[in-house]
């Protein structure tokens, strides 16, 4: 089909042969084989020129489209094979990176022995471009920057929870304002400081808590909550297992916390490389439409 398209456009077997790096005899033979396969004459041949038959004219456009599609498919495969090799620098929050992303990246990399993932976990809002990351996974806190492109990966639901021992000792708050009488465990990287926001239907509340314990790492706060230190502002991707096994229980479950998102960030100045694009597609397939941690909590 590719050879026929060149002959038809150049109106010459010899010119097509030169362009394709083949002999004229090979070009002629391939066109004859195509005509035999289609059981139709595509070209008028003379000693002076080549022209299309009516059937050849009708066949040329879909033939050229098929050739173009085949070339694009070959390009994608070739680039993908080349792209899934070399360093892949990824940054993510400590808790999500440790509990979920590390496992996903390892499974993504397993079929590609030439790929070298480098996962850097840190809860600081690092500039992906300044620090040279190919891909940054972030929970909320998305910068308003034209230098970065974003692709949503999954919803990130907040949840207040505490250990059963703490609830038995201190009681369960019935209203957000009751938090003033409780020990609250606070994540210092919340963008709104020590202010917790709640919504129930159209009703909204804002409570500025007095943090009994503050940390810049969600896993640290999770451990403190398990030890009965207080009520923690956590996420379902971090607290899901403890909520399932009962080592933590929901607090103020009829109130909603602001919805954040897990997002993939990468430099907007260039198209993502095949390995970055492939990893993002892999993570989207992992976490959408409902991430596994939220699916595990359905019905409780």
The per-residue pLDDT string of the chain (300 residues; one tens digit each, 9 = 90 and over) reads: 999 999 998 899 988 888 888 899 999 999 999 999 999 999 998 877 889 999 999 999 888 888 877 776 666 555 554 558 889 999 999 999 999 999 999 999 999 989 999 999 988 777 777 788 899 998 876 666 667 888 899 999 999 999 999 999 999 999 999 999 999 998 887 656 688 999 998 999 999 988 899 998 899 999 999 999 999 999 999 999 999 999 999 999 999 998 888 999 988 766 678 899 999 999 999 998 899 999 999 877
Q: Are residues 74 and 25 in the same domain?
A: yes
Of 82, 114, 143, at which residue does a domain stop? 82
Whole-model pTM: value is 0.68
Q: Are residues 146 and 178 in the same domain?
A: no
Strand, helix or coil at 163? Answer: coil
Q: Are residues 166 and 23 in the same domain?
A: no
Q: Domain range for residue 222?
A: 158-250
Please say whether the beta carbons of 123 and 217 come within 8 A: yes
CA distance 98 to 232: 19
State the total domains in the chain.
3
Query: Does residue 216 form part of some domain?
Result: yes
Q: Are residues 167 and 246 in the same domain?
A: yes
Query: Does residue 255 form part of some domain?
Result: no
Which CATH number covers residue 116?
3.40.190.10
Structure-token match 């909590």, residue found: 297
Query: Does residue 139 form part of some domain?
Result: yes
Q: Are residues 201 and 223 in the same domain?
A: yes
Which CATH number covers residue 36?
1.10.10.10
CA distance 31 to 29: 6
pLDDT at residue 4 in the model: 93
Q: Are residues 223 and 100 in the same domain?
A: no
Q: Are residues 264 and 283 in the same domain?
A: yes
Choose among 187, 189, 167: nearest CA to 178. Answer: 167
pLDDT at residue 299 in the model: 74
Structure-token match 């596994």, residue found: 292
pLDDT at residue 269 in the model: 65
């Amino acid at each position: 089909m590719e050879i026929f398209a060149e002959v038809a456009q150049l109106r010459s077997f010899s010119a097509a042969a030169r362009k394709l790096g083949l002999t004229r005899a090979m070009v002629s033979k391939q066109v004859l084989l195509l005509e035999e396969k289609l059981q139709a004459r595509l070209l008028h041949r003379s000693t002076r020129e080549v022209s299309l038959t009516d059937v050849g004219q009708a066949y040329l456009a879909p033939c050229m489209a098929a050739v173009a599609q085949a070339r694009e498919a070959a390009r994608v495969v070739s680039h993908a094979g080349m792209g899934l090799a070399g360093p892949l620098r990824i940054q993510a929050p400590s808790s999500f990176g440790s509990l979920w992303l590390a496992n996903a990246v390892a499974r993504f990399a397993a079929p590609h022995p030439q790929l070298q993932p480098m996962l850097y976990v840190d809860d600081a809002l690092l500039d992906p471009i300044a620090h040279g990351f190919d891909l940054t996974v972030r929970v909320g806190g998305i910068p308003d920057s034209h230098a970065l492109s974003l692709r949503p990966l999954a919803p990130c639901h907040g949840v207040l929870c505490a250990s059963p021992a703490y609830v038995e000792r201190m009681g369960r708050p019935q209203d957000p304002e009751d938090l003033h009488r409780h020990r609250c465990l606070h994540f210092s990287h919340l963008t709104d400081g020590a202010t917790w926001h709640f919504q129930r239907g159209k009703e909204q509340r804002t409570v500025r808590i007095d943090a009994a314990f503050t940390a810049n790492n969600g896993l640290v706060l999770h451990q403190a909550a398990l030890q009965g230190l207080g009520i923690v502002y956590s996420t379902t991707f971090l607290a899901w297992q403890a909520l399932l096994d009962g080592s933590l229980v929901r607090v103020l479950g009829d109130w909603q916390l602001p919805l954040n998102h897990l997002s993939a960030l990468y430099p907007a100045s260039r198209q993502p490389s095949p390995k970055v694009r492939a990893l993002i597609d892999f993570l989207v397939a992992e976490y959408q439409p409902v991430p596994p941690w939220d699916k595990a909590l359905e019905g409780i």
